[in-house]
Chain A
Amino acid sequence: MTLTIRYFAWMREHTGTDLETVDLPDGVARVGDLVPHLATISDGHALALQNLQVVRVAVNRAYGDLDTPVAAGDEVAFFPPVTGG
């Protein structure tokens, strides 16, 4: 299953990428299942994803959480709590 992953703000800086395509094994059904796979990509990925308490998630540009289901072709974004305005 192929997914598009996006990172913003300090998560983008830690992972060194704003956009990547990842191929995941069967059994990845929810955002939370993705994380252990993403964390193996690099030390920076592991650092960015080490504390999921402070990370927000969007699936196909709608807010979700670690329980949100994912399917092939979805875009999953990880980012810190927002600080606009």
Chain B
Amino acid sequence: MTVRVQSEDFDVGAESRALQAETVGGIALFVGTVRGLSSDDGVTAMVLEHFPGMTEGELERIEAEARARWPLEDVTIIHRVGRLLPGEQIVLVAAASAHRRAAFDAAQFIMDFLKTDAPFWKAEERGDDRRWVEARDSDSTARGRWSE
């Protein structure tokens, strides 16, 4: 199990290889990136803040909940903080299991809970303007479907 909050970038290939093992039949990986110039949106940078200590604790709690639901061999969660540019990687969630369904479902579950529970805050920069991103109802909805 790996949980890291860091300013440095991460190497998806290296993180994936680190999860390979004889008992693993599949690794599902999700990589979140900074969305910049989409249609009318001119985000020039994203600044991410976290709550050292609590953030790692919440990620570990989410990871433990995923392990309680699915037979996972290993999990890696890496989230970056600081100032990131469009196209850069923000988050990696990787779940390794004997079978693909558990890996896919666990990776999605972890992302949905990370979005609503892990203390991270994003501010978007558009030129000289800087604004805090507001939480989205759709994220709470995505989290809620796991309790159905």
Instruction: Decide: B32 and A82 in contact? CB cutoff 8 A.
Output: no
As a 0/1 sequence over residues 53 to 85 of chain A, the CB contacts with chain B under 8 angstroms (1 = contact) are 000001001110000000000000101111111
Count of residues in A whose CB is under 8 Å from the partner chain: 16
Instruction: Decide: B121 and A79 in contact? CB cutoff 8 A.
Output: yes
Interface of B (DSSP majority class):
mixed
Given A8-B121, A62-B57, 5 other A-B contacts at CB below 8 A? Answer: A61-B54, A79-B51, A83-B121, A83-B122, A84-B114
Residues of A within 8 A of B70 (CB): none
CB contact between B120 and one of A10, A58, A85 (< 8 Å): that residue: A85
* A9 proximal to B (CB < 8 A): yes
Residues of B within 8 A of A45 (CB): none
Q: How far is the CA of A67 from the CA of B57 in the complex (A)?
A: 22
Residues of A within 8 A of B79 (CB): 84-85
15 A-B pairs whose Cβ atoms sit less than 8 Å apart in the complex? A8-B49, A9-B49, A10-B132, A63-B117, A77-B51, A77-B54, A80-B135, A82-B115, A82-B135, A83-B132, A84-B114, A84-B115, A84-B121, A84-B122, A85-B111
As a 0/1 sequence over residues 32 to 51 of chain B, the CB contacts with chain A under 8 angstroms (1 = contact) are 10000000000000001111
CB distance from B11 to the nearest CB of A (A): 20
Residues of A within 8 A of B32 (CB): 85
Q: Given contacts A58-B54, A61-B53, A79-B51, is CB(A85)–CB(B132) below 8 Å?
A: no
CB distance from A33 to the nearest CB of B (A): 22
Q: Given contacts A9-B132, A10-B132, is CB(A82)–CB(B120) below 8 Å?
A: yes
Residues of B within 8 A of A83 (CB): 120-122, 132-135
